[in-house]
Copies of this chain bind each other. A is one copy, B any other.
Amino acid sequence: MRSCLVTGGAGVIGSFLVKRLLLDSTVNVIDDLSSGELSHLDDVLGGQNIKFKKGTVTNQNDLLEMMRGTDTVFHLAANGDVRYRPDKPNDMDLNINTIGTYNVLEGMRKLDISNLIFSSTSSVYGLADIIPTPESYGPLYPESLYGSSKLAAEGLISAYSSLYGIKASIFRFANIVAPITRTIGKNVIPDFIDKLRATPDKLLILGDGNQRKSYLYVEDCIDGMLYLYRKQTRKVDLFNLGTVDTITVNEIADIIMAEMKLTNAKKEYTGGKIGWKGDVPLTFLDISKSKKFGWSPKHNSAESVRLSARGLLAGGSY
């Protein structure tokens, strides 16, 4: 039976992944619960094949303890608040995402674990001038500290793969959406739901609402990771995971207002082409490579958003 460690396993993607892995594996979970929530694992915690520890990837001992005896590491733990904020220390992404990944790799080296699946991000592409953007795009000029910290993690994984024979899949995620949410660093869907619940007659949209991105449903994301890791031929490989289309923030607002039967709410805008410092107005990943390997998402962006909104409105069950 495969034995996995999932870092960030109480997060939105992590908790879905943990439940999927439990179908045929034992699973250790480490999460500092800073943005993940233990309640996401309520229905599986206490089972005999899962072990949970509240701990952080910035602590090598926490990691080693939970890594011992596993053969495959899914490294999803990260500072989940992608946005730049003046009140956030500038070294938070560096510490959690970059040095955290270094700690994961050192743990794997010490314990001779040689399978790694890593969640990177479309943010590494910055303001790419090729849209949709393929994995081969370069040079990379990330706009955000988050994007730069994930690019750094990718490089570390590549070097460790070469030096220590670790098989590694790196996935550059589009916006992953789900019928559950985290408490901080919420994405646009729960953010709009919260706002409309508070003031049903209006909706404040960051930027001009024309920011255009692709949104991948969490189950599609997990299918992609598990499938492509099995199929890859390089020792370290890298795949975009997204949908074949994009939608605008305005369209997301329309979907959510329709689901909430609040189509008369007035949209208001903070203005500008981006929602926050370090945001990009257009993200669209070319997923031809992943498709060539045999993976395709089951849902397009609008469906992913609608499914997620419905689940959230129904109270996060799924």
Contacts and interface: CB of A to CB of B under 8 A. Distances in A.
Contacts of A91: 102, 106
B135 A159 contact: no
Contacts of A147: 155, 159
Task: Identify the interface centre among A147, A152, A159: most chain B CB within 10 Å of its CB.
Answer: A159
A147 B152 CA distance: 10
B135 A136 contact: no
A87 to B, nearest CB: 14
B152 A155 contact: yes
A264 interface: no
A148 interface: yes
Contacts of A158: 126, 140-143, 148
Interface residues of A, number: 39
Nearest to A144: B159
B140 A138 contact: yes
Contacts of A152: 98, 148, 151-152, 155-156
A140 B106 CA distance: 21
Contact of A138 (B102, B139, B156, B277): B139
Contact of A163 (B136, B138, B162, B278): B278
A293 interface: no
A147 B161 CA distance: 13
A236 interface: yes
The 3 closest A-B pairs by CB, nearest first: A152-B152, A138-B138, A148-B155
Interface of A: 84, 90-91, 94, 98-99, 102, 106, 109, 124, 126, 135-145, 147-149, 151-152, 154-156, 158-159, 161-163, 236, 238, 277-278
